Amino acid sequence: MTRQPNFNGPLAAAMGDFITYKRMQGYTYRTQTDSLKLFDRFLTRRDCPDGVLQGDVFRRYQASIAELSPGTQEGYLSVVRVFSQYLQGLHPETAVMPANIEPCHPRRVRFYRIDPEQIRELMDATPVLRMQHPIAPQTVRFLIGLLYSTGLRISEALKLNLGDVDLPCGTLYVRRGKFAKDRLVSMTPSATEALGDWLDLRSRHAPTALSAPLLPGGKDGRLTYAQSHIAFRTLCCRCGLHGDPPPRLHDLRHNFACRCIARWREAGENVQALLPVLANAMGHVSISSTQFYVHLDAAELQPASNKFNNYFNKNKE
């Protein structure tokens, strides 16, 4: 159970109620709570008459964190802005932080394209892994294929139990994913077949109770994020997948989304109309989160377009 945070400033009670409200909506709000604690400490040196925020307090707060990076400032200030909106619902006379106070900075889209052939190389290289239990390298092998073919978050995959698998229907039941959302994830026939092979293999090395982890990392334990992260980095180095920044397990999820959009585009489908399907499969709360992959797919098309234009213009001369 998540502990209730301690606030000490003049708006401590309102901040505590705000965190409770956000967690009731399904948000964990851990990082945001830490951000709000910084604002709470700032307010301890100021007066908030009648429990409201005055308009000048936001500029003063922004100035107090001006030495931080623009991205960090944006994170801190965005939480304060949401809190001020909540507070205004209780006290209409309170000020809301203006949107233009947040510093503008270029966002770097982190994405590493991984082709199906490279996925096979990564999976085939898992025997080189030196892990404590003999089943663990095979678990990592299946994990890579699972993330690439379903778009699951790594945290969701690691929490799966055998009772969450419906092999005849080819579905996985994700319990309390991001924002505490439950959902069913459909698998392709090939992924379902691979899942069946995996269940047969793991049954010889790990417990088979419904509460047992789908992805065991040892005789009795679940594969951990640290194990999977280190193993994936090792495999990427082994297979020559490098980058700045280097590929991550989360890039498998990104690649799943981009491949879905690319297949729809190549089939002449209406990508925008199908985005809600992808959003549901990936557990997105807002369709805007899914639209990110449309832009990512378009960015991936640009180098190919430039190569074609260069080739066409060269032969035209």
SS (H, E, C) the chain: CCCCCCCCCCCHHHHHHHHHHHHHCCCCCHHHHHHHHHHHHHHCCCCCHHHCCCCCHHHHHHHHCCCCCHHHHHHHHHHHHHHHHHHHHHCCCCCCCCHHHCCCCCCCCCCCCCCHHHHHHHHHCHHHCCCCCCHHHHHHHHHHHHHHHHCCCHHHHHCCEHHHEECCCCEEEECCCHHHCCEEEECCHHHHHHHHHHHHHHCCCCCCCCCCECCECCCCCECCHHHHHHHHHHHHHHCCCCCCCCCCCHHHHHHHHHHHHHHHHHCCCCHHHHHHHHHHHHCCCCHHHHHHHHHHHHHHHHHHHHHHHHHHHHHHC
The yes-or-no answer on residue 284 being catalytic is yes
| Active-site residue, from 22, 253, 254, 259 | 253
Task: Please report, for the chain, the start and end positions of each structural domain, with discontinuous segments joined by +.
Answer: 12-101, 116-247, 257-316
| Contact indicator for 252, 141 with CB cutoff of 8 Å | no
Active site residue 29: no
Q: What's the confidence (pLDDT) of residue 79? A: 92
Catalytic residue among 46, 81, 181, 250: 250
pLDDT digits (tens, 9 = 90+) for 48-97: 777 889 888 999 999 999 999 888 888 899 999 999 999 999 999 999 99
Indicate which residue of 248, 254, 259, 284 is catalytic. Answer: 284
Annotated active-site residue in 29, 61, 76, 293? 293
178 labelled catalytic: yes
Contact assessment for residue 114 and residue 239, using Cβ atoms and an 8 Å cutoff: no
From residue 175, how far is each of 29, 103, 149, 172, 221 by CA, in Å? 18, 37, 19, 10, 19
What's the pLDDT at 102?
72
Catalytic residue, from 23, 178, 205, 238: name it.
Answer: 178
Catalytic residue among 141, 153, 222, 259: 153
Helix orientation angle between 70-90 and 57-64, rounded to the nearest 10 degrees: 150
CATH for 116-247 (3.40.640.10, 1.10.443.10, 3.20.20.70, 3.40.720.10)? 1.10.443.10
> Quick one: tokens of 154?
């790594």
Active site residue 23: no
pLDDT digit of tens for each residue in the chain (317 aa)?
Answer: 456 678 998 999 999 999 998 888 777 788 889 999 999 999 988 877 778 898 889 999 999 999 998 888 888 999 999 999 999 999 999 999 988 887 666 556 678 889 999 999 999 999 999 988 889 999 999 999 999 999 999 999 999 999 999 999 999 999 876 656 788 999 999 999 999 999 999 999 899 999 999 999 976 689 999 999 999 999 999 999 988 888 999 999 989 988 888 888 888 888 888 888 888 888 876 666 676 666 566 555 444 444 434 544 454 44
